[in-house]
Amino acid sequence: MLDIGWVELSIIALITILVVGPKEIPRVLRTVTQIMRKVRGMASEFQSGIDELAREAELDDLKKDIEKTASRDFASELENTIDPTGEVTESVREIETSLKEDLDGDSATKNVAEAIQESAPQPPADEPEKPAAKTGEGA
């Protein structure tokens, strides 16, 4: 950390004994230890605060990305991708309107549907009708 070797530590110990005195060394060591604990606690508190700020910044970025994604109109983007000129949409609308007009105003279409149903083959009158096969029930 500070690259202090045994020589430096012995010099610090000698100066401490000369300045403080041998009787006061335990009290000084206790005080220094308490100060070091407080400094380490403050450093870890500072580090956790920095980590929390980093997490909040990441969460804010994620929140912005999610909000941006949620606000996008995927239906219009898909429509623009599939049909950028709008020709397909317009032709589908034209077909829909012409079919609605034909079905609403033309009774001939209804008559054709009825004629098709009447021309369907009928079972002979002397044979009884066969019951329809069960499809998927209880099988």
Q: Percentage of the chain with pLDDT > 70?
A: 73
Give the phi and the psi of residue 21 in degrees, each rounded to 5.
100, 150
pLDDT digits (tens, 9 = 90+) for 96-137: 888 887 776 655 555 666 666 666 555 555 555 555 555 555
For position 126, what pLDDT does the model report?
57
Going from N- to C-terminal start, the domains of the chain cover 25-72, 85-118
pLDDT digits (tens, 9 = 90+) for 17-36: 888 888 988 998 899 899 99
For position 38, what pLDDT does the model report?
96
